[in-house]
Amino acid sequence: MMSPDVQALQLDFSHHRPLVVLLGPTAVGKTHLAIQLAQSLSAEIVSADSRLLNIGMDIGTAKPTIAERSLAPHHLIDVTLPDKIWSLAQYKSAATQVIVSIHQRNRLPILVGGTGQYVHALTQGWEIPPAAPDPFLRQALERWEVQIGCQALHDRLAHLDPAAAAAIDPTNARRTIRALEVIFSTGRLFSSQKRRSPPPYPILQIGITRPRPELYMRIDVRIDQMIHGGLIDEVQRLIAQGYSPSLPAMSAIGYGEIAAYLRGDCTLQQAVDQMKRRTRIFVRRQANWFKPGDPSIHWFTAADNTLILIEQSIRQWLVSLSNTANPIP
């Protein structure tokens, strides 16, 4: 049931097609805030977090619980197995279809997450490189990565295509390999093939931030809670199901460290410390995607009244859309 204020707008969502984006660094509090907004605005949540795609990877990804997901409709969570990696093109296609279906139900989609490529692909209208996957070339690149290491492979990409390398985490072997695969198969720079076209909906981007020391403290608490909440058992279960720790999905923060602990390569405390270090580095890389000075993002510092302020901003934006005679075609 749509809340009275939104209902009073008589806004045809299937016609105006608004999209609200809630973004920010990991552990800033997006999940809780998104659920509250979805409840008050008759909205549905579309995940823009690559870690949440994988079935069975729940604790280490801070995935919304089943109870939380029961409070508001969620999409693009638990859609693939850890050994079945989605490409950026697959994600964009699926997210676009979900957003269309939400508009058709005359509801508001809220895109929530911290994966910069996912958010930018949708909000900036990226046209994903057309090169089809080449399994033989990919296998050769994967063998090369094993021989020289992920960082060295990333260095090779930086030499060939500095812009592409700057947008890819040096520890993300899968995306580094994909960029090299596109370069070698097309003879063109990976960065030059991301053409853009205007997105088919008006977009309001809301950014959530916290002072860095506070955010780091929340990260430490979250990781400690993951350990006490069963992350070790979760990693053991995944390995027992046949998912190798060498899989790209299993290299996500938390899974690789706990797998190393289970092999006896480090102590549990060393694994936890490494998780906290890697998450801090990840937060700094997220800041490269979502810059505080970006005029297209309306930033809010998390506080007691943040929900009220953000909800007011969204409602005001929807009012302005309802007064627009010619929405985006």
Say if CB 227 and CB 280 are below 8 A apart. Answer: no
17, 7, 20: which is closest to 103 by C-alpha?
A: 17
Every domain range in the chain assigned CATH 3.40.50.300: 4-127+196-322
Q: Tens digit of pLDDT per residue, the chain (329 long)?
A: 344 455 445 677 877 899 999 999 999 999 999 999 999 998 999 999 999 999 999 999 999 999 999 999 999 999 999 999 888 889 999 999 999 999 999 999 999 998 998 999 999 998 876 566 677 898 899 899 989 999 999 999 999 999 889 878 888 888 899 889 889 988 888 877 667 788 889 999 999 999 999 999 999 999 999 999 999 999 999 999 999 998 989 989 999 999 999 999 999 999 999 999 999 999 998 988 888 778 899 999 999 899 999 999 999 999 988 877 555 54
Tokens of 211: 């002072």
Say if CB 194 and CB 179 are below 8 A apart. Answer: no
- The fold of 135-193 is Histone, subunit A (1.10.20)
In angstroms, rounded to a whole number, what is the distance separating the alpha carbons of residues 320 and 67?
34
Q: Classify 4-127+196-322 by CATH class.
A: alpha beta
Every domain range in the chain assigned CATH 1.10.20.140: 135-193
